[in-house]
Amino acid sequence: MSTHASQSPDETESMTDEKLLILGKLARGIAHDLKNLLAGVQGNTELALREYKNERLARKAMANVMLAARSAHELIEQISAYSRHDNIPHKVLDLREILAFTERLLEGFVSPAVTLKVHVPDEPVCVLANASQMQQLVMNLCQNGLQALGDKGGSLSVRLGTDASGERACLEVSDTGPGIAANILPRIFDPYFTTKELGLGTGLGLAVVHKIVQDCGGTIEATSTPGRKTTFAIELPRSHETPVPEAPMPTPEDYPQDKKAILLVDDEPIMRGLGMDILHSLGYRVSVAENGSEALEMVKRHPDYFDLVLSDSKMPEMSGPELAEQLYAIRPTLPFILVTAFNDAGTEAKLKEFGVTEIVQKPFLIESLARALNNALGAANKTAG
């Protein structure tokens, strides 16, 4: 017999003892995960420093540092996706693209005992959502499926389609793992509910999935036949608009030949140093300022020297958006890129009003920064000539 659970919008009231216990357990889980990831960063960096002459080893160690950093980022995203109450931007997305990306990600670490099947229709299935959240949603469900299959293996299938009316997008993730017992099923969407061992799960995966589905005005349902199969079925309102294509990645020929001058503003010495090295490596001239007023002074003193300002968002005294606004008043054509973590800076539209040309989310890949620089400098050239 199969049982099912649908979303449980259990909004919290007061802090009960049980909740405090859960919170303690969660904090221990997160601390454990972060400690492991930091150990990975520290150990591999040390190894790379010792072995920098052995290119193969050093590269491998640095790739592992990158991997650990990505995992730490994912963990933080998971926690903040759940606690976040502000609105993150939604765009029209073709879910087929999200699934294609998931498939590529999963291919790397699915064990040979698992058969992964991804079915997508020939026609686009678009929804209004946030791409990284949708990615997170699909990954969380797939990860649960894979964990359920374990070493024994089985099949994990992801199926995208629409309902009969064509007005709703339907996404199904199912696995042939051990299933979910009927007494547990009603609790799986609860934040911090997990049956996994310390360090293997924080119990936030499905709570985050549930919240993302809710934010998109959709529904989710879990059905399980213990010993045979578990299916998560999501329905989201379909959008009939066409997605806006992403700008193509820059090629080496797109990189600046004439060494544009960038003013880098960041109060964190480590980020400033890293930013400077990245910009040099991309072929720019770099000047640095430690805060907003110093940056303003520098632009006032050399009004025609800088081609672009690249600034952190959260800084004491003057924030990145405030700096953008003040610079806009004196040099409205100077491109401004804001580097921001989560949503500490306000909505995209508001920031553009302040004179922010491009927004780069932290932590970023060098490629996305390169693309933002290119876009901002390209747009500035167009208005100038």
Q: What distances in angstroms separate CA 42 from CA 3, 48, 112, 113, one per listed residue? A: 46, 10, 31, 33
> Among 10-18, 120-128, 162-170, 199-207, which window interacts with Mg ion (CB under 5 A)?
199-207
Which CB atom, from 195 or from 293, has the smaller least distance to ligand ATP?
A: 195
Which CB atom, from 160 or from 289, has the smaller least distance to ligand ATP?
A: 160
Q: Pick one of ligand ATP, Mg ion, none as the site partner of residue 180 (Cβ within 5 to 8 A by kind).
A: ligand ATP
Q: Does 223 bind ligand ATP (CB under 6 A)?
A: no
**Could you say which of 205, 275, 335, 355 contacts Mg ion (CB under 5 A)?**
205
Q: Does 196 bind ligand ATP (CB under 6 A)?
A: yes
**Could you say which of 193, 306, 336, 354 contacts ligand ATP (CB under 6 A)?**
193
> Among 119-127, 204-212, 311-319, 359-367, which window interacts with ligand ATP (CB under 6 A)?
204-212
Q: Does 72 bind ligand ATP (CB under 6 A)?
A: no
Which CB atom, from 194 or from 239, has the smaller least distance to Mg ion?
A: 194
**Could you say which of 8, 87, 195, 281 contacts ligand ATP (CB under 6 A)?**
195
Q: Does 326 bind ligand ATP (CB under 6 A)?
A: no
* SS3 per residue for the chain: CCEEEECCCCCCCCCCHHHHHHHHHHHHHHHHHHHHHHHHHHHHHHHHHHCCCCHHHHHHHHHHHHHHHHHHHHHHHHHHHHHCCCCCCCEEEEHHHHHHHHHHHHHCCCCCCEEEEEECCCCCCEEEECHHHHHHHHHHHHHHHHHHHCCCCEEEEEEEEECCCCCEEEEEEEECCCCCCCCCHHHCCCCCCCCCCCCCCCCCHHHHHHHHHHHCCCEEEEEEECCCEEEEEEEEEEECCCCCCCCCCCCHHHCCCCCCEEEEECCCHHHHHHHHHHHHHCCCEEEEECCHHHHHHHHHHCCCCCCEEEEECCCCCCCHHHHHHHHHHHCCCCCEEEEEECCCCCCHHHHHHCCCCEEEEECCCHHHHHHHHHHHHHHHHHHHC
Burial (CB count within 10 angstroms: exposed 0-12, middle 13-18, buried 19+), residue 27: exposed
Which CB atom, from 180 or from 372, has the smaller least distance to ligand ATP?
A: 180
Please give the residues from 228 up to 257 whose contact with ligand ATP meets the rule CB under 6 A. Answer: 230
**Could you say which of 130, 135, 136, 144 contacts Mg ion (CB under 5 A)?**
144
Q: Pick one of ligand ATP, Mg ion, none as the site partner of residue 204 (Cβ within 5 to 8 A by kind).
A: ligand ATP
Give me the least distance between CB of 175 and ligand ATP, in Å please: 5
Q: Which helix (H) or strand (E) holds 21?
A: helix 17-50
**Could you say which of 148, 216, 318, 359 contacts ligand ATP (CB under 6 A)?**
148
Phi and psi, residue 162, nearest 5°: -135, 165
Give me the least distance between CB of 127 and ligand ATP, in Å please: 22
Residue that is written with structure tokens 């901002």 in the block: 376
Which CB atom, from 194 or from 374, has the smaller least distance to Mg ion?
A: 194
Q: Does 146 bind ligand ATP (CB under 6 A)?
A: no
Q: Pick one of Mg ion, ligand ATP, none as the site partner of residue 230 (Cβ within 5 to 8 A by kind).
A: ligand ATP
Using DSSP, state whether 127 is helix, strand or coil.
Answer: strand
Which CB atom, from 175 or from 266, has the smaller least distance to ligand ATP?
A: 175
> Among 109-117, 140-148, 299-307, 353-361, which window interacts with ligand ATP (CB under 6 A)?
140-148
Give me the least distance between CB of 141 and Mg ion, in Å please: 8
# residues contacting Mg ion (CB under 5 A): 2
Q: Which residue is nearest to ligand ATP (CB)?
A: 205
Which positions lie near Mg ion, rule CB under 5 A? 144, 205
Which positions lie near ligand ATP, rule CB under 6 A? 140, 144-145, 148, 175, 177, 180, 188, 193-196, 201-207, 230
